[in-house]
Structure 1
Amino acid sequence: METVPELMVMQEMPKPRKTFLLQRGNYDTPGEQVFPNTPESILPFPKNLPKNRYGLALWLTNPKNPLTARVAVNRLWQNLLGVGLVKTSDDFGNQGEMPSHPELLDWLAVTFRESGWNIKKMNKMIVLSATYRQDSQTAKNTREKDPENRLLARGPAYRMSAEMIRDNALMASGLLNRKIGGKSVKPYQPDGLWEINSMTYVPDSGAAIYRRSLYVIVKRSVPNPTLATFDAPSRSYCMVRRQSTNTPLQALVTLNDPTFIEASRVLGAQMCQIADSRQGISQVYRKLTGRRIAKAELELLNTMQQAQVKKFRQQPAKQKGWLTIGQYRAVKSMDQALLAANTVVANTILNSDASLTKR
């Protein structure tokens, strides 16, 4: 039986355990007994529903419940536009902020509920809206009046989350493993991190290395260093709004993490297959940033590529790090100096603000 995978399943007890208020929080001093119920100010619990998890699910999705759909669509809006219609997406109570556009929030909530709680349809509707598709650039005085874009006068602009940054690099390079479901994966990470708990960490190999960040194994006492550096939480508690920082450590990750070096090498190999270096740079730039490259940026990167090719031809030993980190290997018949130079260019684009910030 030790080889059989186990899955924890919750089940209602035949006879519910009694629950009490704890005096001053002490477990050994129980006070008044309490019973399952919901806040009447939101929606009284229907008498025909069982007071268990199934009944709670029906109460949450009851058409008369004013809160569930609003909270859900507000989080979807926050994911796509950076700030929710209710900024305090983690607090819809009387300590939270009032919605900036209450009628829009109500309409989205009703539409979401009537669609059968179809998340994909709601996301599609938001990204196809005129509000989302606006240019994120705006006049200086407008930005000063509304720095958080609460008036929705421009498109979203915010730093991508940890998982987005890693997945974007894998997706742009073509390395991303699109498999859905399955067990957690162990990507690259520095040796010795798990020894603090007397455990060993053996990275996966093959296609598992390139699965989405959603599947990266999380150990609460030793979180994945790549994701943690970009403010990913430990998952030990629910976090509705993440903090967003920009630190030197984040630049060190995107410059040195094997996943990002590998993705840059694959993109560099794709550039090598295009005779016109400028065209190759333009294609990689658009894959990583989602926009067309400006003329000044193209000339700067093209000059950089030529300088890197010259350096690697004169000092072949400097190619090693760029060409050997990670498990992916380019075709040996490819010009190694050119490949290394293109890898540097791709990594430079990957580290630019245009790649790390959603606009």
Structure 2
Amino acid sequence: MTLTTPPSATIPAVVSRAGGALDGPDSLVDALMPSPAAPRGHDLLVEVRAVSVNPVDVKIRASGNRARADRVLGWDASGVVVAVGDEVTLFAPGDEVFYAGSLDRPGSYASRQLVDERIVGRKPATLTYAEAAALPLTGITAWEALFDKLRLTEHSTGALLVLGAAGGVGSMVIQLAKALTGMTVIATASRPESRAWVTQLGADIVLDHSAPDFEKQIRAAAPGGVDCVFTAQSRGRIPLFVKVLRPFGEIVAIDDERDLDFYALKDKSISWHWEFMFARSRYGWDLQAQHDLLNRIAALIDAGRIRSTVTRVLAPLNAARLREAHAIVETGRATGKIVVAAEA
């Protein structure tokens, strides 16, 4: 076993003690917690160097914590492997890694974390820890949406409409679609800074989803109908999707809308897919596929074909900086990803 820093009985962490509103005194708190046990099986013990904040962090914190037991949030990290379990074959102590973790285990808002090697990738060599921490959750989500759900390939052509394109996942959808398929990417963004951002990432056409003639804009961009839709903004959009998608078109969604009129899609035989990147880790389904796709994303980064989506880095990794990051993400108007690094 190799450690980059001496072991101790406790480690610094940021915990959500009461959850709820961000301004609550116990929503995010600096704390000392027991150090993770020595890794067993497929587990890695990782020294966390940077984390990014996702909407899932905000959602789980805001939902409250009735038990008031300290909970470590965080589902994106990059760092260094310091010890490995007896069944580990993919990594060794000293390896630099990035990953999104599991909803069912303590998160990454801590100096050390246990994580299954099969959902971990090798950190892109050309990126800093902060740049790498922006990528795992959104990269996995975008990859599974495009290639597992929509089944796009390098030979795929047609129009892909991306709603919520300036967000973390949308930013990766644009890049992966442009790097690995022949699709024309129609991105939606309403503010000048978000329009500039998605253009930089490679979107072919940028439309304003807040415009009164949004539907007309889509029809002009894809006269034969949109082939596929990626959406992080499904509320109230089913009628629009029915109008702008071609027959046998496909939709993949990542938001949590429950009251959607799926029957309206039947007349055009439009398919609806849900994407939830934690399904693999929660149910133990083909775990190593996540390792493999993270390594492919790292290779694309190191080849210069896609880029990190970090737009702001805060430091150090403490409750104050994480509160600041949560506040930015909570607005729903952040472009790219907000990262909190262990050191400035």
Q: Please give the range of the TM-score, normalised by the shorter of the 2 chains.
A: under 0.3
Give TM-score scaled by structure 1 length. 0.23
Greater share of residues in helix? 1
Greater share of residues in strand? 2
